Amino acid sequence: MRISLFPLFVLALPLLEIAGFVIVGRQVGALATVGLVLASSVAGALLLRHQGFGVMARVRAEMDAGRDPSGQLAHGAMIVLAAILLIIPGFISDIFGILLFLPPVRDLAWRMLKGRIVLATDFGGGLRARQRGKTIDLDDGDYSRADDHTRGPDSPWRRLKDE
């Protein structure tokens, strides 16, 4: 049986962040600690804005070239996660956020996660590759806004309902 450590990490993270505040506060002082937390939040917001627009441009370029943009979309999602981690107050989340902003770390994470993600899109065929359903050809008298009981027994609407 596979046991996930993620719930334990989520529960322990606030305690680890508090311990990080205490350790950093002892070393640099309370005011500097608050300044570092505020600076990391502002940096996260600015990096999200700057990096986010760049990722969107790369996704658009991949789609325009007819290639699969899933890698660029994954990079974009990791950048959003990194910015959120920087905006959240705490030094441990900041470390993970800074690491996720580095492209080699994102590439490594994408290579590790790519096999677990199912891609359910087709970027090569476009709309023409889609399969169309049955086409029902109606005469003028076959369709009316009346209730079902007033339609004739040979109406295609009644046959579709019975199938």
Parse the chain into domains and list their residue ranges. Answer: 12-123, 130-163
- For 94-148, the pLDDT digits (tens) are 999 999 988 899 889 888 887 777 656 555 544 444 445 667 777 776 666 655 5
Q: Per-residue DSSP letters for 43-72? A: HHHHHHHHHHHHHHHHHHHHHHTT---HHH
DSSP letter, residue 102: S
Structure confidence at residue 119 (pLDDT): 58
Report the C-alpha gap between 97 and 80 in whole angstroms.
9
Q: Which long-range contacts (CB under 8 A, 24 or more apart) does 17-20 make?
A: 17/89, 17/90, 17/91, 17/92, 17/93, 20/90, 20/91, 20/92
Structure confidence at residue 85 (pLDDT): 92
Report the C-alpha gap between 132 and 135 in whole angstroms.
8
Find the range with the poorest average confidence among 23-37, 39-53, 70-84, 127-141: 127-141
Report the C-alpha gap between 82 and 101 in whole angstroms.
6
